[in-house]
């Protein structure tokens, strides 16, 4: 989601004491949330609140709730960018005034103080505003559960549940598909009855008028059948396309919200988890029609055969049962093979990514032969498992087809005996053959679906592994939107361990950072500098302890506030495919004048001048074609764009020459305000002395020294 940055600091301050919420907005809001509240009582309470000039609007709503004995509700406020539909209705402070936001018939509606209503397709379309809502504390506490370690966790939505949610969002398409399929199958029954009438009545009497009348009726049915099948196919294509897009967006959104310290270490596994979405979606959308319509009609056709030919129906019913048994057995046999194929395919994908990124090292260190050998080994393993699995699949499908042929042959023989005994007519035999074909098809599909299900199940397990990963903020907790600039950062009893490692990589008993401090983190390689940087940037969450911003837990603060008040630069900056301007702005809306000032101050204009397109110069994936210093400077420019309150840098000048380093230092100094906080790690002692007023030295993940820069400088000189 792209956020519009229009003077965020002023907007935060503006909400500290805006005009009192109008009574008509209050009435509407509480009328939706608490319809039993008397409007006269609410008006009286609102007047009481209005006379209390010491309350902010948010505090006013909290006051009203307590007066109405609504103790189960808690008032919260956050940016509209963090709000989901489930939180509506609520209040919006937008454009200097108050509005109420609701959802009605899949549309978002915003009604202002004058009664004017604006509609939006999605919450992302609503202009930037502060959302004020109510949280049911009782329901939230019941939704949360405790893990064995005593940490709060929350249930996650599986990929099947996500697909089902979007598939059932608008159920009309399901009814349309069912009706169309029912009609198509009914026409199949009519076709069999047509054949039976022709053989039993038309041919013996040569009643051509009856034949032509029946034929005209069948032509109408065939035309309608064509239209219904075409309509069903287009409806399914359109709906599955929507489901595919919506599910992909949900999974990608979850990936964007996952805690960085809990992501899988294997890139191939993570990529495989996301790329398996399409196969899972295709399986469920095709299987849904089969399970809901085709298979039930398979049983109906067997019932029709019984009505027409009596015991012959048991032949096809037995075939159906045998086919299902073949499918189940094949599925069980495929489980282990498909699991190993999936695992090796992900390993192959990860190795391919590593090979592309490390191609330079492979070539220069003579690793091409070894890499090719490993690639061939992976291909051989996957091919071996795939051949075995395909053998099972082919055998089961062929076996089901052969059993179907035997069923048809048996039904013919049995039918002839029925005819010889006068229990069936030749027309009935033709009708049974047609209806029997409608049984053989779904039975064969059942075998294929059962085998495909195992592949889909393995894919779903992979995707669910991603969806299980904890998010940065639990949905049961509403983010807090601070209304002022950051004044203090406090760490208490903080320790952090990477996944799979018991020993903590960082242990900070206590650390306080105040407004205006410029802190340099020093220490040897592996001392914990980068880990501490990532904790303060809210990329990693402490294994124990907490980090608080002005008394509020860092992980409870609204993401929008973090994005607009925290500037972070990674030790390994990443550039993305697009233009130079897009990599600098990263979706933010800023004036060209301000952008050009940053570009000129950091010397990025020299990078732009290397192309006749200037700031629209194309950037390849990962910044390929640019030097390490150029990528570093573009990444630093991305941080310096925007008004930040806390500046966090991890080795900001690692790849810069002296001139570029000087440009960065001057550019940073000119943009930092007196009460801003600067935290940076470096091995450059000169940079540390120039930019900092406090130095923290880390050793073995612990603070070994914490002193003013002037003291450290004096001791060094002495």
Confidence of residue 272 (pLDDT cuts 50, 70, 90): low
Q: Which of 497, 490, 519 is nearest to 698 (CA)?
A: 519
pLDDT for residue 327 is more than 60:
yes
pLDDT for the residue 281: 63
Q: Each residue of 585-617: b (16+ CB within 10 Å) or e?
A: beebeeeeeebebbbebbbbeebbeeeeeebeb
pLDDT for residue 33 is more than 70:
no
Radius of gyration of the chain (CA): 34
pLDDT for residue 289 is more than 70:
no
- Joined together, the tokens standing for residue 499 give 């996944």
Strand order of the sheet with strand 552-553? 506-514, 488-496, 544-549, 552-553
Q: Please say whether the beta carbons of 506 and 531 come within 8 A.
A: yes
44-53, 579-588, 647-656: least confidently modelled range: 44-53
Confidence of residue 239 (pLDDT cuts 50, 70, 90): confident
- Joined together, the tokens standing for residue 586 give 């990263």
pLDDT for the residue 150: 37
pLDDT for the residue 276: 62
Q: How many C-beta atoms lie closer than 10 Å to residue 484's C-beta?
A: 11
The DSSP H or E segment spanning 365 is none
Q: Name the average pLDDT for the chain.
A: 79
**Residues whose CB falls within 8 Å of the CB of residue 92, separated by 6 or more in sequence, listed in order:** 80, 98, 99, 100, 101, 110, 126, 129, 130, 131, 132
For residues 248 and 306, what is the distance between their CA atoms, to the nearest angstrom? 46
pLDDT in tens, 332-361: 888 788 888 877 887 887 788 778 777 777
For residues 534 and 548, what is the distance between their CA atoms, to the nearest angstrom? 15
pLDDT for residue 18 is more than 70:
no
Sequence-ordered strand ranges (E) for 518-580: 518-523, 544-549, 552-553, 566-569, 578-579
C-alpha to C-alpha distances, 565 to 138, 320, 486, 507, 549, nearest whole angstrom: 33, 65, 8, 26, 12
> What is the mean predicted confidence (pLDDT) over 300-319?
82
pLDDT in tens, 135-145: 665 554 444 44
Strand 646-650 relative to strand 677-681, pairing? parallel
pLDDT in tens, 74-111: 777 777 777 777 778 888 877 667 888 888 767 888 88
pLDDT for the residue 278: 65
| Region of residue 439 (phi > 0: left; psi between -120 and 50: alpha; otherwise: beta) | alpha
pLDDT for the residue 70: 61
Strand partners, 133: 76
Q: How many C-beta atoms lie closer than 10 Å to residue 220's C-beta?
A: 10
Percentage of residues in the chain with pLDDT exceeding 70?
83
Torsion of CA 141, 145, 151, 155, to 10 degrees: -110
Tell me if residue 588 falls in helix, strand or coil.
coil
The DSSP H or E segment spanning 496 is strand 488-496
Strand order of the sheet with strand 694-699? 566-569, 646-650, 677-681, 518-523, 694-699, 702-708
pLDDT for the residue 146: 39
Confidence of residue 6 (pLDDT cuts 50, 70, 90): very low
For residues 2 and 578, what is the distance between their CA atoms, to the nearest angstrom? 15
Q: Which of 17, 36, 126, 138 is nearest to 82 (CA)?
A: 126
For residues 101 and 32, what is the distance between their CA atoms, to the nearest angstrom? 11
Q: Which of 160, 156, 103 is nearest to 126 (CA)?
A: 103
Confidence of residue 544 (pLDDT cuts 50, 70, 90): very high
pLDDT in tens, 681-717: 998 888 999 999 999 999 999 999 999 998 875 444 3
């Amino acid at each position: 989601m792209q956020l519009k940055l229009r003077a965020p600091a002023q907007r935060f301050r503006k909400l500290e004491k805006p005009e009192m919420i109008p009574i008509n907005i209050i009435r509407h809001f509480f009328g939706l949330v608490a319809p039993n509240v008397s409007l006269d009582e609410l008006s009286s309470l609102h007047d009481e609140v209005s006379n209390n000039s010491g309350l902010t609007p948010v505090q006013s709503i909290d006051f009203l709730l307590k007066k109405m004995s609504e103790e189960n509700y808690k008032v919260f406020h956050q940016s509209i960018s963090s709000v989901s539909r489930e939180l509506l209705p609520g209040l919006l402070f937008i454009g200097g005034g108050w509005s109420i936001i609701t959802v009605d018939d899949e549309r978002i509606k915003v009604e202002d103080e004058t009664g004017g209503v604006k509609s939006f397709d999605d919450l992302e379309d609503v202009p930037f505003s502060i959302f004020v809502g109510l949280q049911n504390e009782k329901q939230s506490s019941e939704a949360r559960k405790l893990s064995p370690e005593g940490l709060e966790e929350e249930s996650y939505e599986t990929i099947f549940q996500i697909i089902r949610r979007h598939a059932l969002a608008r159920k009309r398409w399901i009814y349309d598909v069912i009706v169309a399929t029912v009609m198509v199958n009914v026409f199949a029954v009519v076709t069999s009855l047509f054949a039976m009438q022709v053989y039993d009545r038309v041919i013996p009497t040569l009643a051509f008028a009856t034949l032509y009348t029946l034929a005209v009726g069948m032509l109408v049915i065939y035309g309608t059948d064509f239209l219904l099948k075409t309509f069903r196919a287009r409806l399914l294509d359109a709906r599955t396309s929507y489901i595919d897009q919506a599910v992909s967006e949900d999974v990608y959104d979850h990936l964007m919200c996952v805690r960085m310290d809990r992501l899988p270490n294997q890139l191939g596994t993570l990529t495989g988890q996301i790329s398996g979405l399409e196969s899972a979606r295709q399986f469920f959308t095709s299987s849904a029609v089969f399970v809901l319509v085709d298979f039930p009609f398979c049983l109906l056709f067997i019932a029709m055969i019984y009505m027409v030919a009596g015991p012959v129906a048991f032949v096809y019913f037995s075939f159906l049962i045998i086919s299902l048994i073949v499918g189940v057995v094949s599925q069980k046999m495929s489980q282990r093979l498909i699991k190993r194929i999936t695992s090796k395919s992900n390993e192959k994908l990860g190795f391919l990514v590593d090979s592309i990124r490390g191609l330079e090292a492979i070539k220069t260190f003579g690793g091409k032969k070894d890499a090719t050998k490993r690639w061939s080994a992976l291909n051989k393993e996957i091919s071996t498992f795939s051949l075995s699995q395909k053998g099972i699949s082919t055998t089961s499908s062929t076996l089901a087809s052969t059993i179907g042929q035997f069923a048809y042959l048996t039904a013919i023989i049995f039918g002839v005996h029925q005819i010889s005994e006068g229990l069936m007519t030749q027309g009935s035999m033709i009708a049974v053959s047609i209806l029997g074909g409608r049984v053989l098809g779904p039975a064969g599909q059942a075998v294929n679906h059962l085998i495909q299900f195992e592949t889909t199940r393995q894919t779903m397990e992979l995707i669910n592994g991603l969806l299980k990963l904890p998010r940065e903020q639990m949905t049961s907790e509403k983010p807090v939107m601070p209304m002022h600039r950051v004044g203090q950062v406090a760490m208490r009893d903080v320790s952090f361990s990477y996944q799979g490692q018991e020993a903590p990589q960082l242990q900070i008993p206590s650390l306080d950072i105040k407004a205006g401090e410029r802190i340099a983190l020093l220490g040897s390689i592996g001392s914990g500098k980068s880990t501490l940087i990532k904790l303060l940037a809210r990329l990693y969450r402490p294994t124990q302890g907490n980090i608080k911003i002005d008394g509020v837990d860092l992980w409870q603060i609204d993401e929008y506030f973090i994005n607009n008040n925290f500037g972070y630069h990674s030790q390994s900056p990443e550039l993305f495919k697009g233009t130079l301007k897009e990599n600098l702005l990263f979706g933010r809306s800023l004036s060209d004048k301000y952008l050009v000032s940053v570009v000129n101050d950091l010397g990025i204009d020299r990078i732009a001048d290397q192309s006749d397109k200037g700031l629209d110069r194309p950037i390849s994936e990962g910044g390929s074609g640019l030097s390490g210093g150029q990528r570093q400077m573009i990444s630093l420019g991305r941080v310096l764009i925007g008004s930040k309150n806390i500046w966090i840098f991890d080795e900001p000048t690692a790849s810069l020459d002296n001139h570029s380093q000087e440009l960065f230092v001057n550019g940073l100094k000119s943009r930092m305000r007196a009460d801003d906080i600067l935290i940076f790690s470096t091995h450059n002692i000169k940079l540390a002395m120039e930019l900092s007023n406090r130095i923290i030295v880390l050793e073995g993940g612990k603070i070994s020294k914490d002193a003013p820069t002037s003291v450290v400088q004096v001791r060094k000189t002495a």
